[in-house]
């Protein structure tokens, strides 16, 4: 649960988010290439405050700090782009950054009332398998802490759907050359492949026949000198419902020694 102060700090960050400041902070290589992944280690992250030895994002869980940093890094340059957020919930950070940098943000979420239509530049009802826009509408489609819920069993948000249907629908609504951005926690909650950190399975959602330049960023897996963020006991009840295809020893290992980190998947439509 957020304290009142944390909620205010989060809102303040969204209110003052500035594309030029984000460009200055993030417009360089902030990751190390390692084994085909982009590893964003805390110690080299532009959000790391080396004097105080803590993350400079001053609200939220360790994961939310990475989410906010990654939004800053990926959305400051949205000029003239039509951008759709799938599963926007109540967060405004990406929306404000996109609109301020000269792009157009539109949002859909299955939790909105069904009669609230999404139109270009406005939010409304929609689902990852039902994007209420014509083929080839968007330059970019993204989801923040949403993709892991699209096919979850525990506490599911309406009609859990196959990932293939969701990704096919996103591909349909993207312009050729358009891009995706999806972030999700690993070893935390949602669909089992995210809980188990099964990167090969996650990557296989984006076949080479339809997607190119697939990149995976790993935020906070290399967390030192910050603290290890551990899988949460509160989520373990859901793990038992979600995880059906992995062996018990792998699950035990993830519970005991797993590190919660943020995966960021980007790719371009062919
Ligand atoms: C954990 S919340 C994250 C909200 C927000 N993006 C944020 O970062 O705070 C997950 C969001 O994904 C949405 N969601 C879940 N299943 C979805 C689906 N199949 N299609 C679109 N959105 C979905 C939920 O309604 C919810 O708003």
For position 121, which CATH number holds?
A: 3.40.50.150
Please list the residues that pair with 91 across neighbouring strands.
none
Q: How far is the CA of 103 from the centre of ligand 1 (A)?
A: 22
Full residue range of the structural domain in which residue 9 is found: 4-269
CA contacts within 13 A on the Cβ side of 82: 13
Here the contacts of 201-206 (C-beta below 8 Å, separation 24 or greater) are: 202/263, 202/265, 203/265, 205/163, 205/164, 205/167, 206/167, 206/265, 206/267
Q: Is the CB of 87 under 6 A from ligand 1?
A: yes
Percent of the chain residues topping a pLDDT of 90: 94
pLDDT tens for each residue of 22-56: 999 999 999 999 999 999 999 999 999 999 999 99
Say what the pLDDT of residue 48 is.
98
Say what the pLDDT of residue 152 is.
86
The Cα 73–Cα 181 span in angstroms is: 12
- Which tokens sit at 93? 């950070």
Give the total number of structural domains in the chain: 1
Main-chain phi, psi angles of 190, to 5 degrees: 90, -155
To test the pocket of ligand 1, the residue of 70, 125, 149 to mutate (highest count of ligand atoms within 8 Å of its CB) is 149
Q: Is the CB of 144 under 6 A from ligand 1?
A: yes
Contact yes or no for 43/67 (Cβ under 8 A): no
pTM given for the model? 0.97
If you search the block for the tokens 């899988």, which residue do you land on?
Answer: 231
pLDDT tens for each residue of 193-249: 999 999 999 999 999 999 999 999 999 999 999 999 999 999 999 999 999 999 999
pLDDT of 159 strictly over 90: no
The Cα 45–Cα 170 span in angstroms is: 30
Q: How far is the CA of 151 from the centre of ligand 1 (A)?
A: 11
Q: Is the CB of 89 under 6 A from ligand 1?
A: yes
Q: Is the CB of 146 under 6 A from ligand 1?
A: yes
- Place 161 in a pLDDT band, splitting at 50, 70 and 90: confident
Say what the pLDDT of residue 203 is.
97
């Amino acid at each position: 649960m957020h304290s009142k102060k944390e909620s205010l700090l989060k809102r303040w960050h969204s209110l003052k988010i500035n594309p030029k400041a984000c460009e200055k902070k993030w417009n360089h290589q902030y990751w190390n290439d390692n084994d085909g992944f982009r590893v964003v280690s805390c110690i080299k992250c532009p959000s790391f405050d080396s004097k105080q030895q803590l993350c400079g994002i001053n609200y939220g869980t360790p994961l939310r700090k990475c989410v906010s940093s990654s939004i800053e890094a990926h959305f400051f340059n949205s000029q003239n782009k039509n951008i759709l957020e799938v599963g926007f919930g109540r967060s405004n950070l990406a929306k404000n950054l996109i609109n301020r940098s000269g792009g157009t943000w539109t949002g859909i979420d299955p939790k909105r009332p069904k009669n609230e239509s999404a139109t270009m530049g406005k939010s409304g009802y929609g689902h990852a398998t039902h994007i209420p826009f014509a083929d080839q509408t968007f330059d970019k489609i993204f989801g923040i802490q949403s993709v892991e819920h699209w096919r979850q069993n525990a506490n599911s948000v309406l009609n859990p759907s196959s990932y293939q249907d969701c990704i096919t629908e996103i591909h349909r609504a993207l312009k050729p050359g358009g891009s995706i951005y999806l972030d999700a926690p690993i070893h935390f909650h949602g669909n089992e492949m995210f809980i188990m950190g099964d990167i090969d399975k996650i990557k296989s959602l984006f076949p080479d026949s339809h997607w190119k330049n697939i990149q995976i960023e790993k935020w906070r897996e290399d967390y030192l000198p910050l603290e290890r963020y551990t899988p949460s006991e509160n989520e373990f009840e859901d793990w038992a419902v979600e995880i059906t295809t992995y062996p018990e020893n792998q699950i035990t290992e993830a519970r005991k020694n797993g590190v919660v980190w943020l995966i960021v998947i980007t790719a371009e439509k062919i």
